[in-house]
Amino acid sequence: MAHAPCPFLLMDNNQPLSHSDPRRQLRMARSMCWHCQSEVTGEYFCERCVKVQPVSKDTDYFTCLGFPRRLALDPKQLEAKFYELSRTFHPDFYQTKSTNEQTISLSNAAVLNTAYRTLRDPIQRAEYLLALETGSVKDIRTSPPADLFEEILELQDTLEEYRASDRGSDQGHRLRATLQTEQEALERRKGEMESQLRRLFADWDKLQDTGEATSQARAERDRILKQMRALLSHRTYVNNIVNDLAATIA
Amino acid sequence: MARIVGIDLGTTNSLVAYMNEGQPCIVPDRNGRTMVPSVVALTDNGLIVGDSAKKYLTRNPERTVYSVKRFMGRGLSDVQSELAYFPYSLTETGGVIRIRLGQKSYSPPQISAMILKELKLRAEAYLSESITKAVITVPAYFNDSQRQATKDAGLIAGLEVLRIINEPTAASLAYGLQKNTQGTIAVYDFGGGTLDISILKLKDGIFEVLATNGDTHLGGDDVDRVLVDLFIAEIREREGIDISGYPDHMQAVRLEAERAKIRLSDELKTEIAIELPEDKGRFTRELTRDQLESLATSVIERTLTPCRMAIKDAGLTPKDIDEVVLVGGSTRMPLVRQRVEALFGKPPHCHLNPDEVVALGAAVQADILSGGTTDMLLLDVTPLSLGIETMGGVMSSLIRRNTTIPASAKEMFTTYVDGQTGVDIHILQGERELVKDNRSLARFRLKVPPLPAGVPRIEVTFLIDANGILNVTATDMRTAQSQSIEVKPSYGLSDTEVERMIEDSFKFAAEDIGARKLIEARLDAESLIKATDRSLAEAGHLVGPEEADAIRAALSQLSTVKDGTDPHAIRARMVELEQAAKHLNTVMLDDSLKKGLQGKKISEVS
State yes or no: pLDDT of B164 exceeds 90: yes
C-alpha B528, offset from chain centre: 37
Residues of chain A neighbouring B405 (CB-CB closer than 8 A)? 113
Both A116 and A152 in one domain: the answer is no
User: Can B533 be counted among the known catalytic residues?
Assistant: no
For residue A8, what pLDDT is reported? 25
In order, the DSSP letters of A14-75 are -PPPPTT-THHHHTTSPPB-TTT-PBP-SSSB-TTT--B-PPPTT--HHHHTT--S-S---H
| Chain A residue numbers touching B204 (CB-CB < 8 A) | 83
pLDDT band at residue A249 using 50, 70 and 90 as cut-offs: confident
In a domain, A17, yes or no: no
**Is residue B92 among the annotated active site residues?**
no
Q: Which of B1, B377, B410 sits opposite A90 (nearest CB)?
A: B377
pLDDT at position A78:
95
CATH superfamily, domain B384-493, is Substrate Binding Domain Of DNAk; Chain A, domain 1 (2.60.34.10)
Integer Rg of chain B from CA: 29
Using the beta-carbon criterion (under 8 Å), do B379 and A86 form an inter-chain contact?
A: yes
pLDDT band at A2 (very low <50, low <70, confident <90, very high): very low
d(CA B406, CA B425) in angstroms, rounded, equals: 22
pLDDT value of residue A10: 28
Structural domain of residue A204, as residue ranges?
Answer: 146-249
Q: What are B533-591's pLDDT values in tens digits?
A: 988 888 888 888 899 999 999 999 999 888 888 888 888 899 899 889 988 888 888 88
Torsion angle (degrees, nearest 10) of CA B196, B200, B202, B205: -60
Higher pLDDT, A6 or A86: A86
Asked whether residue A107 falls in the same domain as residue A162, the answer is no
Helix (H, G, I), strand (E, B) or coil at B379: strand
Per the domain annotation, does A64 fall within a domain?
Answer: yes
Q: Do A114 and B407 touch (CB under 8 A)?
A: yes
For residue A160, being part of any structural domain is answered with yes
In the sheet that B323-327 helps form, which strands lie side by side, from edge to edge? B323-327, B183-190, B195-203, B206-215, B377-379
Fold of B220-299: Actin; Chain A, domain 4 (3.90.640)
Which residues are CB-contacts of B594 (< 8 A; sequence separation ≥ 6)?
none
Half-sphere exposure of B435 (CA within 13 A, CB side): 15
- The percentage of chain B sitting over the pLDDT mark of 90, rounded to a whole number, equals 55
Closest Cα in chain A to B208? A83
Chain-centroid distance of CA A45 in Å reads 28
d(CA B274, CA B165) in angstroms, rounded, equals 40
CA dist., res. A87 & res. A105, Å (int): 11
B546 at interface of A, judged by CB pairs closer than 8 A: no
User: Is A137 part of a structural domain of the chain?
Assistant: no
Is the confidence at residue A18, as pLDDT, over 50?
no
Residue A137 in this model has a pLDDT that exceeds 70: no
pLDDT at B304: 96
Question: Which residues on B lie below 8 Å from A95 (Cβ)?
Answer: 162, 369-371
pLDDT, residue A175, reads 86
A223-232, B184-193, B226-235, B330-339: the lowest-pLDDT one: A223-232
Q: Which of A120, A155, A175 is the last residue of a domain?
A: A120
Where is pLDDT greater, at A233 or B133?
B133
CA distance A33 to A37: 5
In this complex, which of B365, B406, B412 lies closest to A113 when CB atoms are compared? B406
Check CB contact of B233 with chain A, cutoff 8 Å: no
pLDDT class of B487 with cuts at 50, 70, 90: confident
So what CATH class is B497-597? Answer: mainly alpha
Tell whether B409 is within 8 A of chain A (Cβ): yes
Question: Mind listing the pLDDT tens digit for each residue in B277-300?
Answer: 888 889 999 999 999 999 999 999
Sign of the torsion angle spanned by Cα atoms B422, B428, B432, B437: negative
pLDDT greater at residue B145 or residue A21: B145
Whether the CB-CB separation of A49 and A33 falls below 8 Å is answered with yes
Q: Per-residue pLDDT tens for A178-188? A: 888 888 888 99
Q: How confident is the model at residue B599 (pLDDT cuts 50, 70, 90)?
A: low
Kindly give the pairing relationship between strand B39-43 and strand B439-447.
Answer: unpaired
Q: pLDDT-based confidence at A212, cuts 50/70/90?
A: confident
Based on the domain organization, do A158 and A116 belong to the same domain? no
pLDDT attached to residue B415: 86
Report the C-alpha gap between A144 and B473 in whole angstroms: 40
User: Residue A15 falls within a domain, yes or no?
Assistant: no
Q: Which of B322, B264, B251 is closest to B294 using CA atoms?
A: B264
**Alpha helices per DSSP H over B26-166:** 51-54, 56-59, 108-127, 144-156
Contact A1 B410 (CB under 8 A): yes
Q: How big is chain A by its Cα radius of gyration, in Å?
A: 23
Kindly state the DSSP code that residue B84 receives in the 8-state scheme. Answer: G
Distance CA B249, CA B241 (A): 12
- Give the DSSP H/E element, type plus range, for residue A236: helix A215-249
Q: So what's the pLDDT on residue B602?
A: 53
Phi-psi region of B430 (alpha: psi -120 to 50; beta: other; left: phi over 0): left
Per-residue buried b or exposed e for A179-214, using 16+ beta carbons within 10 Å of the residue's own CB: beebbeebeebbeebeeebeebbebbbebeeeeeee
**Is A162 a member of any domain?**
yes
Query: Is there a contact between B377 and A117 if contact means CB atoms under 8 Å apart?
Result: no
Q: Does B404 touch chain A (CB under 8 A)?
A: yes
Q: Is residue A39 part of a domain?
A: yes
Among B377, B407, B200, which Cα is nearest to A93's?
A: B377
Q: DSSP of B270-320, one letter per residue?
A: EEEEEEPSTT--EEEEEEEHHHHHHHHHHHHHHTHHHHHHHHHHTT--GGG
Burial of B484 (0-12, 13-18, 19+ CB in 10 A): exposed
Q: Which residues of A139-158 are buried (b: 16+ CB within 10 A; e: fewer)?
A: eeeeebeeebeebbeebeee
What architecture (CATH level 2) is domain B4-218+303-379?
2-Layer Sandwich (3.30)
Taking an 8 Å cut-off on Cβ atoms, the answer to whether B407 and A110 are in contact is yes
Condensed to tens digits (0 to 9), the pLDDT of residues A27-66 reads: 333 467 777 777 776 667 766 666 777 777 678 899 889 8
Residue B512 pLDDT:
65
The CA distance from B260 to B289, in Å, is: 10
> What amino acid occupies position B482?
S
**Probe site for chain A from B410, B463, B482 (most A CB atoms < 10 A):** B410
User: Are A167 and A233 within one domain?
Assistant: yes
Residue among B8, B215, B221, B389 flagged as catalytic: B8
Q: Tell me what the pLDDT averaged over chain B comes to.
A: 89
* pLDDT tens figures, B353-377: 989 999 999 999 999 999 888 889 9
Question: Quick check: A147 pLDDT over 80?
Answer: no
For residues B350, B356, B358, B361, the Cα torsion angle rounded to the nearest 10 degrees is -100
Cα–Cα separations (whole angstroms), residue B149 to A59, A128, B81, B82: 37, 38, 22, 20
Contact call for residues B411 and B446 (beta carbons, < 8 A): no
Same domain, A88 and A179: no
Highest mean pLDDT pick, B192-196, B334-338, B391-395, B437-441: B334-338
Residue A125 lies in a domain: no
pLDDT at B527: 81
Looking at residue B419, its pLDDT comes to 87
State residue A25's pLDDT score: 34
Between A70-74, A173-177, B299-303, the lowest mean confidence (pLDDT) is in A173-177
B189, B196, B224, B389: the active-site residue: B189
Q: Does B453 touch chain A (CB under 8 A)?
A: no
> Mean pLDDT, to the nearest integer, of B22-28?
93
- Inform me whether the pLDDT recorded for A226 exceeds 70: yes
Distance CA(B138)–CA(B14), nearest Å, equals: 12
Q: For B496-507, what is each residue's pLDDT tens digit?
A: 888 888 887 777
Q: What pLDDT does A233 receive?
A: 86
| Statement: residue A140 has pLDDT above 60 | no
pLDDT of residue A124: 92
Q: What is the mean pLDDT of residues A229-238?
A: 87
Strands B481-483 and B458-464 turn out to be unpaired
Cα–Cα distance for residue pair B130/B40, rounded to 1 Å: 23
Q: What average pLDDT does the segment A112-118 reach?
A: 94
Same structural domain, A108 and A190: no
The domain total for chain A is 2
CATH number for A37: 1.10.287.110
Q: Is B189 a catalytic residue?
A: yes
User: Closest to B1 (Cβ–Cβ): which among A9, A14, A96?
Assistant: A96
For chain B, the domains span 4-218+303-379, 220-299, 384-493, 497-597
For chain A, say whether B483 makes contact (Cβ under 8 Å): no
Nearest Cα residue to A204 out of A122, A142, A139: A122
